[in-house]
Structure 1
Amino acid sequence: MTALTAEIPAPRRIASVMRIHVANPWPTAILPWLVLFGVHGITWSIWALITHYAGDSLEPDAFRYAGGVSWLVIYMMVIAIQAMNAGFRFAMGFSATRRDYYAGTVAFFAAMAVVYALGLGVLAMVERATDGWGLDGSFYAPAYLYDEPYAVIAFHYLALYLLFTAMGALIGALFVRWRAAGLYLYFAGLALAVVAFVWWALDAGDSLVAFFRDNPIEVVMAWTLPLSAALAALGWLVIRRAPTRA
């Protein structure tokens, strides 16, 4: 850390890193909403066609299981991976520390998670107020979120986005430090974790099913927060010794 960098308060250094990610808002703040509204429009058109041709034979809850919002969390995970890789050495060139860069990147995506959670919650309320866009559909609050209040819907998306962006930050950190070998390490560890989870789930059986059945969605999603924090902490442990040059 240079003497000049040391004189700048940590919050300002972290805010400077966040501004690096804000410099090009298109991939994180503009394009996702445009694509989302486009998918919504296409979905609504399909609902309208089905309603027209099905007539009275259409089931009342036929459009309550749309998955059009789910792609956003995968998209934001990919953006987090790219941001970690693309901006790291650029920020290092401006005398940012690894700690500042990682903290600023994680803070940026946490802020984006809040924005998307609040926005999707508002859209879910508009959807509910318009009787599912006039077709009894459920695009922004499908299935298990259909009857939930605004706070629960927003918290659900917040927890989901934090989980996937923390995962993206870890993958990006692995790539920055070890390049392709880091990705091999991650996917090998992920495969082992999935196998271990399936083994545990089969052994847990009814108790696991009871957990999801007996607990409200906000409690279930709250359990993802420690995992998100662990992934973010692991990402820091990886990137704290990453080389500043390729």
Structure 2
Amino acid sequence: MGVAPPLAVRLANVVRLHLANPWTPIIIPTLILAVIFLANLAIWNLIAYNTGNEDLSNVNNGGIAFVAIYMLVVATQTMNSTFPFALGYGVTRRDFYLGSSALFLMLSAGYAAGITVFALIERATSGWGLNASFFAPIYLGDLNAAEFFWVYFTLLVFFFFLGAATAAVYVRWRTTGMLVFFGGLLAIIIASIWLLSITDSFGAVGQFFVSAGLLGSHSWSLAVSALMAIAGYALLRRATPRN
């Protein structure tokens, strides 16, 4: 009987399996983000040319949010489509989930580093010469490189594991599970709003986030990401692939 390869090797194999087609997790989002940025840059220059105003500091763009939303989709596709294929090659559910999680953390770090570099370039060039903002939205303030990285890293980790947990629900219970999941989520949101209203706690919640600040709030999001990661694993370890 052969000796099983070390855990690191098994997880690396799962990562390579996910990256066998790099278009979905890396190439496509990078190209789309580049197109969105270049389109905005062209529009900014047209505005400046036609108005004679080269100060677009009041123009803010949320195009960078595309990356976070797309990573949710990537995580969902990864967990749903690759899961049965991996099991067919003898990968355990535990190794598959740990390897997928490692990939999510790697992608989060890679994208956060790339966005941070462009955010610093944007700041150094005074918003591409127009005081415009794309990679460094105005609400991020005067963050340094490490803080920029942390904000984007925690944001991407949150969306990756939200997608993983959602996909695990689908793999485990299919359409019925998704309906129950989103119905329950909506009920929890409504109940939370109702509870905060009757206890007059909105001010306290707002004060908590104000006290935590931007970096503190993003750091707290890691706790939610960890809970979603645990929930995703708990669901996936009992899931049966259907295809």
Per the TM superposition, whether the score is higher than 0.5 is yes
Q: Contact 1:138/1:146 (CA < 8 Å) preserved in 2?
A: no
1:115-151 Cα distance to aligned partner (Å, 9 max, x none): 0111101110011111101111110010211421111
Matched, 1:61 2:65: no
What does residue range 37-52 of structure 1 map to in structure 2 within 5 Å?
Answer: 37-52=34-49
**CA distance change for structure 1 residues 197 and 72 in 2, over 3 Å: closer, same or farther?**
farther
Matched, 1:16 2:13: yes
**CA distance change for structure 1 residues 8 and 121 in 2, over 3 Å: closer, same or farther?**
same
- How far is the alpha carbon of 1:216 from its aligned partner? 2.7
Q: 2:229 aligns with which of 204, 228, 232?
A: 232
User: Normalising by structure 2, what TM-score?
Assistant: 0.93
Q: 1:14 corresponds to which letter in structure 2?
A: L
Matched, 1:161 2:156: yes
- How far is the alpha carbon of 1:67 from its aligned partner? 0.2
1:126-181 Cα distance to aligned partner (Å, 9 max, x none): 11111101111110010211421111111111111111110100111111111112
User: Normalising by structure 1, what TM-score?
Assistant: 0.92
Q: What is the alpha-carbon distance in structure 1 between the residues aligned to residue 194 and residue 136 of structure 2? A: 31
Matched, 1:150 2:145: yes
Q: Contact 2:56/2:132 (CA < 8 Å) preserved in 1?
A: no
- Greater shift after overlay, 114-123 or 183-192? 183-192
- How far is the alpha carbon of 1:88 from its aligned partner? 0.6
- How far is the alpha carbon of 1:244 from its aligned partner? 3.7
Match of 1:129 in 2: 124
Q: Secondary structure at the match of 1:215?
A: helix
Q: 1:84 aligns with which of 74, 79, 83?
A: 79
Q: What is the alpha-carbon distance in structure 1 between the residues aligned to residue 85 and residue 102 of structure 2? A: 18
Q: 1:227 corresponds to which letter in structure 2?
A: V
Q: What is the alpha-carbon distance in structure 2 between the residues aligned to residue 123 and residue 196 of structure 1? A: 41
Q: 1:62 corresponds to which letter in structure 2?
A: N
**CA distance change for structure 1 residues 55 and 212 in 2, over 3 Å: closer, same or farther?**
farther
Q: What is the alpha-carbon distance in structure 2 between the residues aligned to residue 19 and residue 87 of structure 1? A: 12
Q: 2:57 corresponds to which letter in structure 1?
A: D
Q: What is the alpha-carbon distance in structure 2 between the residues aligned to residue 212 and residue 48 of structure 1? A: 37
Matched, 1:106 2:83: no
Q: 2:147 corresponds to which letter in structure 1?
A: V
Q: What is the alpha-carbon distance in structure 2 between the residues aligned to residue 61 and residue 210 of structure 1? A: 29
- How far is the alpha carbon of 1:46 from its aligned partner? 1.6
Unaligned runs of 5+ in 2: none
Q: What is the alpha-carbon distance in structure 2 between the residues aligned to residue 199 and residue 121 of structure 1? A: 38
1:96-120 Cα distance to aligned partner (Å, 9 max, x none): 1010111111111111000011110
Matched, 1:179 2:174: yes
1:206-237 Cα distance to aligned partner (Å, 9 max, x none): 22222333433111100100000000000011
Unaligned runs of 5+ in 1: none
Matched, 1:94 2:89: yes
Q: What is the alpha-carbon distance in structure 1 between the residues aligned to residue 116 and residue 81 of structure 2? A: 31
Q: What is the alpha-carbon distance in structure 2 between the residues aligned to residue 113 and residue 51 of structure 1? A: 34
- How far is the alpha carbon of 1:55 from its aligned partner? 2.8
Matched, 1:71 2:81: no
- How far is the alpha carbon of 1:60 from its aligned partner? 5.7
Q: Contact 1:169/1:235 (CA < 8 Å) preserved in 2?
A: yes
Q: 2:208 aligns with which of 205, 211, 217?
A: 211
Match of 1:190 in 2: 185
